[in-house]
Structure 1
C-alpha cells in the first residue's frame, strides 16, 4: 500500500459515519450542536480505526512501513482525544432531560439519563488517561508487557463504553442505520484484537522455533540464533524485523521487535544482534540453548530488494547495524556488484561488533569517545561527516539505508535532502517518537 492510499483510505473510513449521520439524521440543529455531534462522531470513528492501525496487519503496512502506521496511530489518538474533550463542551444552552414526545428525533433535547451519560463520561476520562500513559510510558518506567496489557484492555473498554454512549445518548447514533454502522465498526475493531491476541498466537504455536546459539559480541551485545522446529522457517527480506518471544507461551505479551541480522541466503536459521537495554535484553546471555521461541513477522520495508541504484550506503548507529548487516550479507552472498559504503557509529571502540566482517568492506567507523590512538572518525554521524564521505554524484544517485538513534537519522536525512538526494532513495524506520 502506498502512503497516499493509506491516508485516503483512513480519511474515508473515519468520515463515513459522519456522512451517513448527516444523511439519515433528520433536520439540522443550531451549528454548535451539529459541531458537537460531529466532533463526537469523528472521535469515535478515529478511536475504532486505532485498532486497525496498531494491529500489525501486513496488507496495511506493506509499502508504507509498520513504523508509519504506528506513527499515524499515535498522532490520530491525540487528535481523537482533542475532539472528544471539546465534544461535550459545545452543548451549552441545550434543554436537557429524558426523551420528550414532541421531540422524537432529539432535535431539541439531549438525554440526561444516567446510564448513557455515565458511559460517555467514563470513556472521556479513560481516553485521556490512556493517551497520556502512552506518551509518558518511558518516563513512568513500567514494563512493556504491563503497558501493552493496560493499553489493549483500556482501548477495548473505551470502545464498548463509547458504543453504548453513542447509540443511547447520541441523536444520530440512535438512528437504526447508524446503530448498525457503529456495531459493525466496533465488531471490526474487536476482531483486530482477536487477530492479534488469539489468531496470530495460534499460528505461531504451530510453527515454533528453538534457540540454537547465544554468543557475546561485545561487553553489552549478543548474537542470538534461532532455528525452525519442524517447519521450513520464515520467508523474509534482508533488513526486515520480527517480534520475538523467547521462553513464553505464544499467547503471552512477552515479545519484542528485533531486526534480523542474518541473510535469507544463509538458510533457515535466523540471527539477531541484541544490546542489553531493558528487562528482556539484560537476560539474553542467560538464555539456554533449546529454549522454545516464537516469531511474528516479517515486518518492515528496510529492504533493497528490487532496487537498481548504482551504489548502496548503509549508515548505522550502535545496534542499528543489525538490519544493515543482513543487507550487506545478502548482497555479498548473491554476488551483488554494486558499490557499498558503510558508516558505523558507536560510543567507544569496544562497542564495535563484527569488525572482522566490516573491515572487508569500505567502512567508516565513528566513535564519540575515541582513545588517543584512534585513527578513524570521531564525534557524531552528522552533516559534516556525510559531506566528507560521499561525493556529489553518490549523494544524487545512491540508495541510503539508515538505522539507529532518531536524532542521527534526522540529521542525516536532512543533509541528504539538502544536497539533492530524492526522498525515495532514503530508507529508514523509526519506532520511538515521544
Structure 2
C-alpha cells in the first residue's frame, strides 16, 4: 500500500512540476500582455477557481518535499524531519521545534502583509499575488502548528506530515487506518478469509490425493507379491485371511493384532551370529543374512525353517526347526534346537557349528501360526522343546501389545529343562494379560514352587477359565500331545478350536539327503529309505501337468516319490501328512491318503491332495505340478 502511494505521489509531483512551469510562463506572458488569456484559453483566475494550487504555493510545497531544490533554503526538509521524529534525539527535537515556531511566525507575517496588499491592490495581478502570499502564509502557519502539536505529543508526527502532504495535493484524508484495525476494511478481511479457506481446502485435497496414491501403490505391490508367490492351498484359514496386511519395514513391530501376509518361501545361506546355551541339552542359534542388515524373508509366528548341513563329506542332511523368535525382529531369526544322540543334524549344530559359520536354510513353512486376528484369546500348551513355536507367538503378541488374554501352559521333565524360564517370568510381570502355568519336577540345586508332574485335567481347569470356548495351540512330544488331546476332548473343547503341531515319524531318503520331518525333536523321527522305483510294478501312471512329464505310479508309491523319480519338484517337509507343505491339486483320477492332518477341509473339497500321502487306485491320475 505504501509503495502504491509513493508511486502515485511521484506521478502527482511530476504533473505539478509541469503545471508550475506552465503557470510561471502564463504569469510572464500576462506581465507583457496584460490580462489576456494564455494560449489554450485558461486564465490564472480559472486555475484558482478550479481548486488547483497556485504556482507559488506549489513551489513552496516542492521546496518542503525535495531537499536542496530551489536554492537549497534548508539543509533538511522540514517534514522529512517530522517523519523521522521518533528516532530524533533531544537536540534534534529542539531544533525542529524552533523551525516550527519560525514557520508559524513567518506565516503570520505573510498573512498580515498579504492582507494589507490585498486591501490596497488596484489590479488583478496584485490581487492574485496577495492571495498567493496569503495562502503561503496560511500553509506555513498550519504546518508549524501541526509540527508543534506532534512535538507536544498531542498528535502522531507521521500522521501530521502525511495529512499536510495530502492537503497540499488535494487528496482526500485517509480515514481507513483510523476506522479499521491494522488498516483493513471488512471487505479486505472477508477476501483474506475466503483465500485462507480456499488454500486450506486445496491443501487438504492434495493430502488426500497423496494418501490415495500411497494406497494404490501399496495395493499394487501387494498384488505383485501375491502373484509371484505360489501359496499352499492347504494353509490354515488364518493364513488365508491374513493376506491384507504386510510385515512392517526395518525392525519396527507390527501394530497390535495386525494381519501378516503369508510369506514367500526363500532359500539361501544364513550366518550364525550368536549361540545361546538355554539348558544343558538345548541351544539357540541366531542366524542373519550375511550380506544385509535384515532378513531376506518374512515369516509368521509359529512357522519353521528347513536347515541343510553336511555332517559328513559328500552327505547332506536336512532338518526342520521351528522359529522361536518374533516376526517383529527383522535383523535375525532364532532356532532353538535340542541335541539328540540319534539326530544327525542336531548333533552337527551342537558339536560343530560356531559363530561365523554359514548354514543353508529354506522356508518359512508351516501353517501352525497365530497372529491374534482370528480369536480374542489364546491358550498355548507346550511340552519339552515344543515350546519353540509357542515362544514365537508369545513374543509377537507381547511385542505388538495384543490386548487378548494369553494363557501359557508348559510341561517339562525338570527345572533344568525349563527353556526360556527367565524371559517367560519377565514377560508375565510386564503384561497383565499373560497368565503362565508350568509343571515339572524340581532338579537338585534349583528352586521350584510350581506344580509337580505332567500337565493334568485339573491343572487345565484351574489355569484356564472357560477353556472350552478358547482357541488352543498344542505342541510337544507324541505321548504328551495324545494325553492332552484326550483331556481337552473331555473338557468339551471342539476340534475346530484345537490346533496342533505333531512330531511324527518320517520316511525320507538318507543318501544323499537325510531330511527329517516336521520341526521338533530329532529323536522322535524314524528315518527309512524309500524303495527303489525299479523294484515296483507300475500299476498306473501319474502325469505332472505343469512339468509335462509322466511317470509310472506303483501301488505302494506316493505321488511325491514318483515326482522325485522323474525330477519334478514338489515342496515338502515332514512327509508324514502333518505339515501340509506338499499340497497339490488333483486334476484327474482318484487317490487314497493314510494321513490327511495337514490338509484343510476346504482344500480337500476343492480337489487338493497331500503328495507325500497320495497313492494311486490303479488308474492314471493327473496332478498340477
> TM-score when scaled to structure 1?
0.50
Structure 1 residue 233, shift from structure 2 partner: 1.7
Are residues 1:259 and 2:333 paired? Answer: no
**What is the aligned partner in structure 2 of residue 222 from structure 1?**
283
Structure 2 unaligned regions, length at least 5: 1-229, 239-264, 429-434, 506-525, 527-625
Are residues 1:398 and 2:470 paired? Answer: yes
**What is the aligned partner in structure 1 of residue 437 from structure 2?**
364
Structure 1 residue 373, shift from structure 2 partner: 6.3
Hey, what's the Cα distance between the residues in 1 that align with 2:443 and 2:275? 29
**What is the aligned partner in structure 1 of residue 457 from structure 2?**
383
Find the partner of 1:425 among 497, 521, 533: 497
Hey, what's the Cα distance between the residues in 2 that align with 1:252 and 1:243? 16
**1:19-34 to 2 correspondence within 5 Å?**
none
Find the partner of 2:333 among 267, 270, 286: 270
Are residues 1:234 and 2:297 paired? Answer: yes
Find the partner of 2:235 among 48, 57, 62: 62
Hey, what's the Cα distance between the residues in 2 that align with 1:248 and 1:282? 9
Q: Which has the larger radius of gyration?
A: 2
Hey, what's the Cα distance between the residues in 1 that align with 2:331 and 2:315? 25
3-state SS of 2:321 partner: strand
**1:201-220 to 2 correspondence within 5 Å?**
204=267, 207-220=268-281
3-state SS of 1:347 partner: strand
Structure 1 unaligned regions, length at least 5: 1-56, 66-199
Structure 1 residue 385, shift from structure 2 partner: 2.1
**What is the aligned partner in structure 1 of residue 345 from structure 2?**
280
Greater helix share, structure number: 1
Structure 1 residue 253, shift from structure 2 partner: 3.6
3-state SS of 1:245 partner: strand
Hey, what's the Cα distance between the residues in 2 that align with 1:222 and 1:324? 17
Structure 1 residue 60, shift from structure 2 partner: 5.0
Q: Kindly tell me the number of residue pairs found equivalent between the two proteins.
A: 237
Contact 1:311 1:397 in 2 (8 A): no
Find the partner of 2:398 among 327, 332, 346: 332
Residue by residue over 1:354-403, the C-alpha shift from the partner in whole angstroms, topping out at 9 and shown as x without a partner, is 11111132221211466696321111123232223222x2x132221111
Contact 2:339 2:346 in 1 (8 A): yes
Q: Could you say which structure has the greater relative contact order, defined with CA pairs below 8 angstroms and 6 or more residues apart?
A: 1
Structure 1 residue 323, shift from structure 2 partner: 0.7
Contact 2:304 2:320 in 1 (8 A): yes
Tell me: CA distance 1:235–1:252, structure 2 relative to 1, closer, same or farther (3 Å).
Answer: farther
Are residues 1:243 and 2:306 paired? Answer: yes
**1:140-155 to 2 correspondence within 5 Å?**
none
Hey, what's the Cα distance between the residues in 1 that align with 2:363 and 2:448? 40
Hey, what's the Cα distance between the residues in 2 that align with 1:59 and 1:282? 31
Tell me: CA distance 1:305–1:270, structure 2 relative to 1, closer, same or farther (3 Å).
Answer: same
Hey, what's the Cα distance between the residues in 2 that align with 1:389 and 1:335? 22
Structure 1 residue 240, shift from structure 2 partner: 0.7
Find the partner of 1:297 among 360, 363, 373: 363
